[in-house]
Chains A and B, each alone.
Chain A
Amino acid sequence: MQKYDIIVVGAGHAGCEAAAAAANMGSKVLLITMNMMNMAQMSCNPSMGGVAKGQIVREIDAMGGYSGIVTDRTMIQFRMLNRSKGPAMWSPRAQNDRVLFSLEWRSMLENTKNVDFWQDSVVNIIVKNEKIAGVKTGLGFDIKCKAVILANGTFLNGLIHIGEKQFSGGRMGDSASISLTERLVDLGFIASRMKTGTPVRVDGRTLDFSKMDEQPGDAVPGKFSFTDTPALINQRSCWLTYTSGQVHDILRTGFDKSPMFTGRIQGKGPRYCPSIEDKIDRFSSKERHQLFIEPEGWNTVEYYVNGFSSSLPEEVQFSALRKVKGFGKAKFFRPGYAIEYDYFPPDQLNFSLETRRIEGLYFAGQINGTTGYEEAAAQGMMAGINAHLKIRKEKEFILKRSDAYIGVLIDDLITKGTEEPYRMFTSRAEYRILLRQDNADQRLTRLSNEIGLATKQRFEVAEEKYRRVNDFSLFLHAFSVKPTQINRLLSEKETNEIVQKQKASTILLRPQLFLQDMIDHIEEIRVYAHDHGFLNREIVEETELMIKYESYIVKEQELVDKHANLENFSLSGDFEYAKLTSLSHEAREKLNKVKPRTIGQASRISGVSPADISVLIVYLGR
């Protein structure tokens, strides 16, 4: 076999983005997967985005990753969540055609220069002098390379549980990857177990949707990619229904056979994505739980029962679900199950996602203890970028917490580690007003272009967009509106009329008023906007947002600037904290373990006090 720059192990969301990023930057990439029919498989629900996750997909897209484009091309429904809240919360979410999603990803990678494919499993890595040299495959090949990205997902010693049954598997229908964990442990890595779960899939022909509430897509659907992906025209609806006391009672009859409650599952599951049995056990006072019934594609009768994740015996799952409104005659395609898998606590990584132990070895996705396609894809892209840069002996690429959710994600993983599957929330970000889905291109496209990932064309599009937004905003700050021009509109909107001239930007601060209204009503604004090419939705929305939320944006930017000193204050990785007796005992231990890169990062480690930080600052280099 030929020699590659980078081998990516696993073709899930992390692996695919890793391969795409590294190849687009110019590395020769080999993507190894156990099953080429299942690339970028949506193992759980057929949906991308959502609160905080949608922002991540936009960030990936802004940097030139593929997830946003694939999502746009294969979605069957789009909703912008939280439209009624502030812009930091607006979160795009799509339902996707599961099969098309996978095929589209494969097709995009097949059309990407520098990506080769190989169907096989990886059973070991080849290491020389604590440096990666290649991989060994199940079919007996040694393939050489300069960097390896492990993106194994839930496949490492995956163990599926349904009631009292348990069997090996990486996902229902796919085999697990055995022995790779042990080889890594032999090399000194620490592995641990996690657990996640997925619900039953049902036959839509047997469901009575008239008994459920319809949840249609947006009337004017948006999209994920900043590129010119096609707009969605037709959409499929989701459906909303509820469990009941009766459903809960039936589920309880299976508790004695639950692998969770009987202790057969040892891995820790996510608190925010509990199984249905967990929900009724921990929150017994709640009479009913919401279930979202999501279509799996354009042309399939298969539906996904979101909210009914379970590892109870299949007959208990089925008979309980039949008591749910609309499910009286339901037929099932397959039961829900829980899966336990190995992960490597992420404090063993550097910020580049390279392992501290083996040079050139990178981990991305669920192997790092995260959950979610979006979180995995983001890590994959970052690992791909950094593996490429490393090979080229260029400076690593790290996003800060104030740059992107991706920065928050990786900083949290490295600094705090995680004991339950890590999912992104907007509340994890301290600068949520800055990290909006609408400005991901402003935040990231330039940075990505500088390292050679986002194309020049993408960069120019983003630059042009914000040049226009800026010009339009300057115009509105300078343009005075006369009472006669706007009072009719103001009274229509039930807000106070103006008695003398006022700047357009000041009037726009009123929550009842939108920029589009002003464009429609005031000729000068309309003509100006038209002549300068500002009359498109993206520009109008962005300009409006910059004006309406300016004070909040400024406030948060000030916070970022205040902490910039600490974030830029580097710490040497090989410092012996143990010798610093002025530090508290706990701080010494934690610092030694995490080996923070900056004072800012050190200050986020639990157990490191402000006093410890002061000591550090004084002792360590500037």
Chain B
Amino acid sequence: MGIFQMNDTICALSTAPGVGAIAVIRLSGPASFATIGQLFKSSEKNLEIAAIKSHTIHHGVIGDGMSILDEVLISCFRAPHSYTGEDVIEISCHGSDYIQKKILELLISAGLRLAKPGEFTFRAFMNKKFDLSQAEAVADLIASHSGTSHELALKQMRGGFSKKIGALRESLIEFTSLIELELDFSEEHMIFADRADLRTLLDHIETELTQLIKSFSLGNVIKNGIPVAIIGKPNVGKSTLLNAILNEEKAIVSELPGTTRDAIEDTIVIGGYSFRFIDTAGLRASEEVIENIGIGRTWEKISEASIILYVFDVTEQSFADVKEAISELKKPGEVPPLNLVLVGNKTDLLDQLPRGFKEFVEYETIFVSGKRKENLHLLVEHLVDVVGKAKTTDKTIVSNSRHYEALQQAHNAILAVRTGLSESISPDLLTVDIHKALYHLGEITGEITTDEILGAIFGRFCVGK
């Protein structure tokens, strides 16, 4: 399991991620037309979506029925005359992140599934739309994509997210092994799974999943952009730096419709990507308190970020100071954050750049003057570079959405298990939903096999006559 299904309807952003003039969202599968029928209102009078001919384009508005989200064009292709060989609709919408994600959100809530990397191509291939030589080229693409996307998915799951999912999965496997033990060894065993314990475990899992869903909800990402934390000692010029960046890029601040200036005060769009600066500067007044609370609290703050800018004062801090500060950024036993960028500020006070910083091979060090707005472009370019290299944007959206969907499904399954438990349904029926929950968590962390469950049984219990 865990690979492509063929009989449902999928959707995904087809154009490059980020902000552009227009974006295209593609739907493929049997429910494409029906779904569009629910969300799209044509400018043509009496246009029946079900009667739309293949290879036609229609103008209209898209929305959830209550409010209009955007003015769009839909290009319609009937099976088998489409890219995938299925019913396909391409929605051309305006190119803002917000609109793209909101439309995807609408489609998902209408019952579509977000496509996995390569899935449109997979369908096209399955429906004999490609010959082998064409397909080979795509294969390389898929291979490289899935590799990085998996790595990225892991990278994104910062702040113990992946650990949490792993732990939840572990406890579910334990739960399952108890149930399976009861089922497969009913004759041979005296220990039965304590229903109260199972209930507690389910409650715990449910709570954790709910929290994860909240923290990872699509809405958050849409609203917030890529989180960038600016940290550093007091008075190193963090807020000056931030203001400088904001001012430099002012021309394209707040292009996002539907949001207020206040709410995105620290969010700016650079090079097509939107960044949300976690404003530790805003916490200036209580900075001493923070220092008192200690490094643990700081870690929590920065762990939400995808990129961390550590700002230091080149006139005050030596290479050794910075090195020490960075080492304090990691909790015992953990590796330092991946996308850490060192920003040496206040170069305007020095005649020449300080030495010794080149020894940080793993971290980019950029020297700027926030006050004189010198070399800010280096920093900004680097931010874009980091994102571009890691392809974080589309992955952030896509894999977050994917994780979101998986979490949501796992959550639903857990709720079903809980209901079943309170109705005391037979354990073999309980496992139908437990397996479903495990399957969806497995989409995030990797696969679950029956061998794992059996392993858990044999490892912990004395079974066998």
On whether the beta carbons of B464 and A273 are closer than 8 Å, the reply is yes
- For A424, give the chain B residue with the smallest CB separation: B184
- For A416, give the chain B residue with the smallest CB separation: B451
On whether the beta carbons of A433 and B428 are closer than 8 Å, the reply is yes
Residues of the B chain whose Cβ atoms lie less than 8 Å from the Cβ of A610: 2-3, 116, 146
How far apart are the CA atoms of A563 and B140 in the complex, in Å?
25
On whether the beta carbons of B1 and A563 are closer than 8 Å, the reply is yes
Complex partner residue of A618 from B1, B138, B427, CB under 8 angstroms:
B138
Q: Is B338 an interface residue (CB 8 A)?
A: no
How far apart are the CA atoms of A425 and B179 in the complex, in Å?
13
On whether the beta carbons of B135 and A618 are closer than 8 Å, the reply is yes
On whether the beta carbons of A562 and B426 are closer than 8 Å, the reply is no
Against A, the Cβ 8 Å flags (1 = close, 0 = not) of B425-439 are: 111110110010000
On whether the beta carbons of A603 and B464 are closer than 8 Å, the reply is no
On whether the beta carbons of A561 and B183 are closer than 8 Å, the reply is no
Against A, the Cβ 8 Å flags (1 = close, 0 = not) of B167-189 are: 00000000000001001111110
Shortest CB distance B400–A (Å): 18
On whether the beta carbons of B462 and A615 are closer than 8 Å, the reply is no
On whether the beta carbons of A274 and B143 are closer than 8 Å, the reply is no
Of A82-90, A333-341, A380-388, the segment with at least 4 beta carbons within 8 Å of chain B is: A82-90
Q: How many A-B residue pairs have CB under 8 A?
A: 157
On whether the beta carbons of B183 and A614 are closer than 8 Å, the reply is no
Q: Is A428 an interface residue (CB 8 A)?
A: yes
Give the one of B187, B453, B463 with max A CB within 10 A: B187
Given A611-B147, A619-B135, decide whether A89 and B1 contact each other with a Cβ distance below 8 A. no
Q: Is A270 an interface residue (CB 8 A)?
A: yes
On whether the beta carbons of A552 and B432 are closer than 8 Å, the reply is yes
- For B121, give the chain A residue with the smallest CB separation: A618
Q: Is A565 an interface residue (CB 8 A)?
A: yes
On whether the beta carbons of A272 and B464 are closer than 8 Å, the reply is yes
How far apart are the CA atoms of A583 and B147 in the complex, in Å?
10
Of A252-260, A284-292, A360-368, the segment with at least 4 beta carbons within 8 Å of chain B is: A284-292
Within 1-17 of B, Cβ neighbours of A (below 8 Å) are at 1-7
On whether the beta carbons of A307 and B465 are closer than 8 Å, the reply is yes
Residues of the B chain whose Cβ atoms lie less than 8 Å from the Cβ of A611: 142-143, 146-147, 150
Residues of the B chain whose Cβ atoms lie less than 8 Å from the Cβ of A324: none
On whether the beta carbons of A428 and B143 are closer than 8 Å, the reply is no
On whether the beta carbons of B432 and A433 are closer than 8 Å, the reply is yes
Q: Is B118 an interface residue (CB 8 A)?
A: yes
Q: Is B450 an interface residue (CB 8 A)?
A: yes
Shortest CB distance B426–A (Å): 4
Of B122-130, B344-352, B387-395, the segment with at least 4 beta carbons within 8 Å of chain A is: B122-130
On whether the beta carbons of B451 and A619 are closer than 8 Å, the reply is no
On whether the beta carbons of B428 and A426 are closer than 8 Å, the reply is yes
On whether the beta carbons of A426 and B449 are closer than 8 Å, the reply is no
Q: Is A203 an interface residue (CB 8 A)?
A: no
On whether the beta carbons of A614 and B450 are closer than 8 Å, the reply is no
Shortest CB distance A84–B (Å): 8
- Report the contact-size class of chain A (Cβ under 8 Å from the partner): 35 or more
- For B125, give the chain A residue with the smallest CB separation: A618
On whether the beta carbons of B187 and A561 are closer than 8 Å, the reply is no
Residues of the A chain whose Cβ atoms lie less than 8 Å from the Cβ of B252: none
- For B453, give the chain A residue with the smallest CB separation: A427
Q: Is B291 an interface residue (CB 8 A)?
A: no
Within 413-447 of A, Cβ neighbours of B (below 8 Å) are at 416, 425-428, 430, 432-433
Residues of the B chain whose Cβ atoms lie less than 8 Å from the Cβ of A615: 139, 142-143
How far apart are the CA atoms of A282 and B463 in the complex, in Å?
11
Shortest CB distance B431–A (Å): 8
Against A, the Cβ 8 Å flags (1 = close, 0 = not) of B403-432 are: 000000000000000000000011111011
Shortest CB distance A405–B (Å): 13
Given A270-B464, A279-B462, A611-B150, decide whether A430 and B435 contact each other with a Cβ distance below 8 A. yes
Residues of the B chain whose Cβ atoms lie less than 8 Å from the Cβ of A622: 125-126, 128
Residues of the A chain whose Cβ atoms lie less than 8 Å from the Cβ of B135: 618-619
Shortest CB distance A488–B (Å): 25
Within 577-622 of A, Cβ neighbours of B (below 8 Å) are at 582-583, 599, 603-604, 606, 609-611, 613-615, 617-619, 622
How far apart are the CA atoms of A272 and B185 in the complex, in Å?
9
Q: Is B363 an interface residue (CB 8 A)?
A: no
Given A426-B184, A427-B453, A614-B118, decide whether A86 and B429 contact each other with a Cβ distance below 8 A. yes
Shortest CB distance A441–B (Å): 21
Q: Is A52 an interface residue (CB 8 A)?
A: yes
Q: Is B263 an interface residue (CB 8 A)?
A: no
Given A270-B464, A619-B139, decide whether A427 and B429 contact each other with a Cβ distance below 8 A. no
Against A, the Cβ 8 Å flags (1 = close, 0 = not) of B445-465 are: 000011101100110011111
Within 255-300 of A, Cβ neighbours of B (below 8 Å) are at 270-274, 279, 282-283, 286, 289-292
Give the one of B5, B136, B453 with max A CB within 10 A: B5
Complex partner residue of A274 from B122, B183, B464, CB under 8 angstroms:
B464
Complex partner residue of B3 from A89, A282, A566, A606, CB under 8 angstroms:
A566
Residues of the A chain whose Cβ atoms lie less than 8 Å from the Cβ of B188: 290, 307
Q: Is B190 an interface residue (CB 8 A)?
A: yes
Residues of the B chain whose Cβ atoms lie less than 8 Å from the Cβ of A583: 143
Residues of the B chain whose Cβ atoms lie less than 8 Å from the Cβ of A565: 5-7, 126
Q: Is A532 an interface residue (CB 8 A)?
A: no
On whether the beta carbons of B427 and A562 are closer than 8 Å, the reply is no
Complex partner residue of B143 from A86, A273, A426, A614, CB under 8 angstroms:
A614
On whether the beta carbons of B142 and A81 are closer than 8 Å, the reply is no
- For A604, give the chain B residue with the smallest CB separation: B449
Shortest CB distance B166–A (Å): 17
Complex partner residue of A427 from B1, B132, B186, B454, CB under 8 angstroms:
B454
Residues of the A chain whose Cβ atoms lie less than 8 Å from the Cβ of B122: 614, 617-618
How far apart are the CA atoms of A86 and B183 in the complex, in Å?
10
Residues of the B chain whose Cβ atoms lie less than 8 Å from the Cβ of A271: 458, 463-464
Shortest CB distance A195–B (Å): 14
Q: Is A211 an interface residue (CB 8 A)?
A: no
Within 172-218 of B, Cβ neighbours of A (below 8 Å) are at 180, 183-188, 190
Q: Is A555 an interface residue (CB 8 A)?
A: yes
Within 27-53 of A, Cβ neighbours of B (below 8 Å) are at 45, 50-52
How far apart are the CA atoms of A292 and B465 in the complex, in Å?
8
On whether the beta carbons of B426 and A617 are closer than 8 Å, the reply is no
On whether the beta carbons of B143 and A582 are closer than 8 Å, the reply is yes
How far apart are the CA atoms of A35 and B3 in the complex, in Å?
51
Shortest CB distance B242–A (Å): 39
How far apart are the CA atoms of A549 and B429 in the complex, in Å?
9
On whether the beta carbons of A582 and B139 are closer than 8 Å, the reply is yes
Residues of the A chain whose Cβ atoms lie less than 8 Å from the Cβ of B449: 604, 606
On whether the beta carbons of B450 and A428 are closer than 8 Å, the reply is yes
Shortest CB distance B35–A (Å): 19
Q: Is A166 an interface residue (CB 8 A)?
A: no
Q: Is A319 an interface residue (CB 8 A)?
A: no
- For A305, give the chain B residue with the smallest CB separation: B465
On whether the beta carbons of A51 and B183 are closer than 8 Å, the reply is yes
Give the one of A273, A309, A549, A614 with max B CB within 10 A: A614
On whether the beta carbons of A556 and B184 are closer than 8 Å, the reply is no
Residues of the B chain whose Cβ atoms lie less than 8 Å from the Cβ of A84: 426
How far apart are the CA atoms of A94 and B183 in the complex, in Å?
18
How far apart are the CA atoms of A51 and B188 in the complex, in Å?
11
Shortest CB distance B428–A (Å): 4
Shortest CB distance B409–A (Å): 14
How far apart are the CA atoms of A433 and B1 in the complex, in Å?
18
Given contacts A81-B186, A549-B429, A614-B4, 10 further A-B contacts (CB under 8 A): A51-B185, A84-B426, A89-B186, A93-B187, A272-B464, A427-B454, A565-B5, A614-B117, A614-B146, A622-B128
16 A-B pairs with CB atoms under 8 Å apart are A50-B187, A82-B183, A85-B183, A85-B428, A89-B186, A89-B428, A274-B462, A433-B428, A582-B139, A599-B3, A606-B449, A606-B451, A611-B143, A614-B4, A619-B139, A622-B126
Write the residues of chain B forming the contact surface with A, with a CB cutoff of 8 angstroms. Answer: 1-7, 116-118, 121-122, 125-126, 128, 132, 135-136, 138-140, 142-143, 146-147, 150, 180, 183-188, 190, 425-429, 431-432, 435, 449-451, 453-454, 457-458, 461-465
4 interchain residue pairs of minimum CB distance? A611-B146, A86-B426, A582-B143, A618-B139
